[in-house]
Amino acid sequence: DYLFTMPHSLRGGSQGKYCLTLSHLGNKNPAGYNCQVSLQFLTSERSIREHIYAFNSTESDWSECVNFDAPNKEDQYTASITVHIDGKKLFSHEKTVDVWTAKNITLIQTDKPQYKPGQTVKFRILRMDYRMLPLTDLFELITIDNPGGVRVMQWKNVDASKGLVSLEMKLSDDPVLGTWNIKVHGADETIQSFKVKEYVLPRFQMKITPPKYILPTTKSIMGKVCAHYTYGQPVKGSLTMKVCFGPEPYPSYYYYKQPCVDIIEKNFDGCHFFSILPSQLKLGEPGYPTGGFLKINATVHETATGMELNRTSTGPPLTYDPLKIEMSDESDGYFKPRFPYKGKVTVTLPDGNPASNEVIRIKAEKYSLQYYWSREFTTDSSGIINFSLSNLGQDVYSLSLSATAVNYEKQTEMGSGLRISTPKGHRTITQWFSPSLSYIYIPTIKDKVPCDSTVDLDVLYSTDGSSVNVFNFVVKSGDDIIHVARKNVVYVDTHLDILQLHPDEELKYHANKLTDDVDPVVLDRIGYFKMPVPIKTKGLDVTVLVYYINRNSEVVAATLQIPVDRCFKNKSSKMLVVTNAVLETRPCSKPRRYNLYPWQGTQIPTIQRAHFLPLFSMEVRMKETKDFRIQSVSGAILKLCVCGSESKSAKFHIVPLKVGEIDLEVMAVSIEDDTTTCVNQIISKDGIGVQDGVRRKLLVEPEGIPQEYTKSFYLCPEGRLLSQDIDLPVAGDDKIVPDSQRAKVNVIGDIMGPTLSNLKDLLKMPYGCGEQNMASWSPNIYVLQYLTNTNQLTDAIQEEAKGYMRVGYQRQLKYRNHDGSYSAWGDNKYQNSTGSTWLTAFVVKSMAQSRPFIDIDSKDLNFSMQWLLKHQNRDGCIHNVGKVFSSYLTGGLADGENVGGLTAFTLIALIEAGIDKNDTVVALQALSMYATLVYQGGLDLSVRVDTPSKSYQTGINDSNSLVLTTWDLSPQTTKVNVQVHGKGCAMIQANMKYNIYKDEENETGQASFEVKVNVYRSRIDIDTCKKRTLRICVRQ
């Protein structure tokens, strides 16, 4: 008999372990047995690796574990195992195994999820291997791309010798808003997104706490709404609530409208607790829904500033199950005769919280009623009941287990007629199959085991009492075998106290040595022994496999999972102190005060003290600057009477005098009352002179209508100094909003830079009909053309693009008609009586351009070209035939609308595989062709930008040609001079933004637009007079 074990999943390039157990070999050869094991890893093509191991043994029962090297490449292999004993084949077997490559983990963390314009983006990068250990290799390339895919920042060969890399980038005052991406390039590219948006943090936060669940027996539906400032103080104001019940959305077939309850609290102070009767929401009443959700809409109006905040909460649903009961066990639904079965009942409330002190009746019965067991338990604080069943004989093949909550009667209902269900749980357990009725039982270990320790396993097994069994132990952690052992066991009798156990009570074993006068009875005895198992793993749980091969060649086995503490190396080990001083721990013997009086004591006295909240007279002063003008009647000083633990607002009306950020500074100081601030009140004298202040920046945006334009130049100096003047005119002084001008200059060294940043979006797997397939096939051609001609093509990109092109070519042949033409759906499908001229010309052009990269059938291509020539009229024009569904193939022209365009397109396709009509593809091919013509390689440019107030300078080379450099110019800049010197070309873009005043009237003196408002009776609530429907129309 033999048993071979090995992991079915291996890490590439690592060392695995297999184990071979042989038994009942006999003892025919006194010199021992010569065994040879051959392990091969096979693919469909060839053998990757072969491992041969030979050894000798004089025993008829033995086990051996051998290390082997796994293949390096990640793939699915066929493991072929062949074992020879004394030159004769014992067995040969094949099994599929997975070999995976350990991938590194790259973590990118930003200091905030979103940023405002002008803020600094700070982020950290940590790269770890599969063992969670930090890597210190260089980061080859780290980039930041804006929402348009344009690279605005990059770092090359970043040092990671300390494990953690910290970088930052300052945003401009006018960046592109949206989602930006931080990319760590390499074999395992990692992307972390962050948002750039203009936002204002709310003054306070609002939270709705609905009831955890609603039952038909619920007497009152209770919840609360709270609003607090960001510094923790409650918000004072008013609260408006609407609480509704029903499906979402509410169906129209119900006789009555959705039941809702309106709640108004005018004196809202931080929190409001509400209570609603089920009858107010019409629960269970005829004509109303019997199921649905509770929906709460609440609005808090702050008294101090008038700010409103609205929140909506949906749920919980109406449930008819007061408890949820789940039955589970430690043996996956199996039991072993003569060994205890341990089960577990988990009882939870509808919201998932534990249900404690619930009486549960547990039954175990066989359908033939040969076995019946019933008992009532009470759940503990965790809502759990542990129970055990004993005396399960060999004639019991399956049992039906049930758990019922006895305190919930089936007909329990509320006055509305809704009723709850009786909570129940079910589970069926089956006898573990063994032809010889041989079993191994290992009690579960609940507590976590310390790392680098040894666990003594209690192993029980059924036996006839006359044999010596050889038990094998295999300890596995993850996919690795970390320990193997064997143990010869002599039968020792034991009696199990397992009738009825307390949930936390362990099994008790009473072991006695057998004497010679015991008559053996087949498998009616329980053997017991202990086996030490070393725990060598750190952090991963351990699985122990215990098995032996009996005289019937049956493998009798059992497994046990042992929880292990998370023992990582990066523990805090305190500190090593080396000194010649005397170190002592200071005794803490000084008595502490436990009362409000100055004398010392050791007990807590009972006292009474009357207290009140003091009043303070506060003076609030705003610092005046030249950036704004205060228009408040009281000027820059306000006085308030404030009670302790209360907040009040001071309002200053200001008029900003500049665009951009202005500084605001406000001070508050407690002063002596002047009898006018806190009238007829006693003012506290303790806090006089105490003051505090705050500084904030206020962003002032220009008024009017935004205007924007961009001027672009592609400059190639060819070794000389090239100068370019750029004018950035704006509207007249009487129309432009002061300080609204914002000019900037962008510089990039590769005209295809933004396109190549989105290379993964351009290289696509072709799909769809004949027209869609071409739209996703052609960009692969143009990307390859550009990268090939500019010597930027990598093997990875080339193989990916070629793979897509081959798939696109094969798919396109599906839509070829018998005459060589092409149509959207293929030959004679969906009433395609003939091919399309536009599509066929497009296919011919694309196939011709693909020939340098993939194999194209020239004979078939010529066949399609002949079909196009057959549709040429006597005047030379190409006749348009066939249906085109995609407008991008015809440039947006309708069928037959532009014969000249079709003729030019077809002739160019026939002659030199010319231009595409798809806007995206046209732009991509045009950029590719132009950049290919001007690309010279060895880019080395110096770019200087001069303005009347400041100069800017940068260098562009091959390493940073894809990085977009942006300079924000000073306000009022209208003229820019750009000087480029060196080798190569650069794209220069000058952008101007400004605002103009909005004209209320047009040139004829009439209003620029007209607004008309009509008021109607509410179309939703027809019977409600206070609601109206507004119809607003605007036209020029």
- Residue 366 token pair: 């066989």
% residues pLDDT > 70 (the chain) = 79
As a whole number, the mean pLDDT across the chain is 80
First-to-final CA distance of the chain:
94
- Residue 327 predicted with pLDDT over 80: yes
> Is residue 298 very low, low, confident or very high in pLDDT (cuts 50, 70, 90)?
very high
- Residue 50 token pair: 């072969």
> Is residue 110 very low, low, confident or very high in pLDDT (cuts 50, 70, 90)?
very high
Give the residue-averaged pLDDT of 406-434.
78
> Is residue 884 very low, low, confident or very high in pLDDT (cuts 50, 70, 90)?
low
Q: What is the pLDDT of residues 693-709, one digit of tens each?
A: 999 989 888 888 888 88
- Radius of gyration of the CA atoms of the chain, in A: 41
According to the model, what pLDDT value does residue 244 have? Answer: 92
Give the residue-averaged pLDDT of 469-485.
83
> Is residue 143 very low, low, confident or very high in pLDDT (cuts 50, 70, 90)?
very high
- Residue 324 predicted with pLDDT over 50: yes
- Residue 747 token pair: 């510089």
> Is residue 269 very low, low, confident or very high in pLDDT (cuts 50, 70, 90)?
very high
Q: What is the pLDDT of residues 740-791, one digit of tens each?
A: 888 999 898 876 655 555 555 556 666 667 677 777 777 788 788 877 777 7
Q: What DSSP element (H or E) covers 926?
A: helix 919-934
d(CA 338, CA 460): 11
More confident of the two residues 792 and 986 = 986
Contact 274, 169 (CB under 8 A): no
According to the model, what pLDDT value does residue 911 have? Answer: 62
- Residue 283 predicted with pLDDT over 50: yes
pTM of the model: 0.64
Helix (H/G/I), strand (E/B), else coil: 899: helix
> Is residue 41 very low, low, confident or very high in pLDDT (cuts 50, 70, 90)?
confident
Q: What is the pLDDT of residues 676-692, one digit of tens each?
A: 778 777 777 777 888 89
Q: What is the pLDDT of residues 223-245, one digit of tens each?
A: 999 999 888 889 999 999 999 99
H helices of 709-852, in order, are 753-757, 759-762, 770-789, 795-812, 837-850
State the amino acid at position 378 in one-letter form.
T
- Residue 296 predicted with pLDDT over 90: yes
Q: What is the pLDDT of residues 819-867, one digit of tens each?
A: 888 887 776 555 556 787 778 888 888 888 888 888 787 778 888 888 8
Most confident of 216-220, 341-345, 532-536: 341-345
According to the model, what pLDDT value does residue 572 have? Answer: 55
According to the model, what pLDDT value does residue 431 have? Answer: 92
Q: Which residues contact 691 (CB under 8 A, 6 or more apart)?
A: 667, 668, 669, 670
According to the model, what pLDDT value does residue 489 have? Answer: 84
> Is residue 944 very low, low, confident or very high in pLDDT (cuts 50, 70, 90)?
very high
According to the model, what pLDDT value does residue 834 have? Answer: 75
Residue with tokens 């970390």: 482
Give the residue-averaged pLDDT of 362-371.
77
- Residue 342 token pair: 């341990």
H helices of 218-294, in order, are none
According to the model, what pLDDT value does residue 1027 have? Answer: 79
According to the model, what pLDDT value does residue 141 have? Answer: 92
Give the residue-averaged pLDDT of 553-576.
76
According to the model, what pLDDT value does residue 685 have? Answer: 77
More confident of the two residues 104 and 828 = 104
- Residue 481 predicted with pLDDT over 70: yes
270-307 burial code (b ≥16 CB/10 A, e <16): bebebebebeebbbbbeebbeebbbbbbbbbbbebeee
According to the model, what pLDDT value does residue 684 have? Answer: 74
- Residue 912 predicted with pLDDT over 60: no
User: Strand locations in 129-177, DSSP E?
Assistant: 139-145, 151-158, 164-170
Is it true that the peptide bond before 249 is cis, omega within 30 degrees of 0? yes
Measured CA to CA in angstroms, residue 802 lies from 817, 855, 929 at distances of: 25, 10, 19
**For the CA atoms of 55, 61, 65, 66, what is the dihedral angle to 10 degrees?**
20
Lowest-pLDDT range, 91-95, 301-305, 1008-1012? 1008-1012
User: Structural domains in the chain?
Assistant: 2-100 (2.60.40.2950), 105-196 (2.60.40.1930), 204-317 (2.60.40.1940), 324-431 (2.60.40.10), 440-562 (2.60.40), 615-666+673-691 (no CATH), 707-750+939-996 (2.60.120.1540), 758-934 (1.50.10.20), 1000-1036 (no CATH)
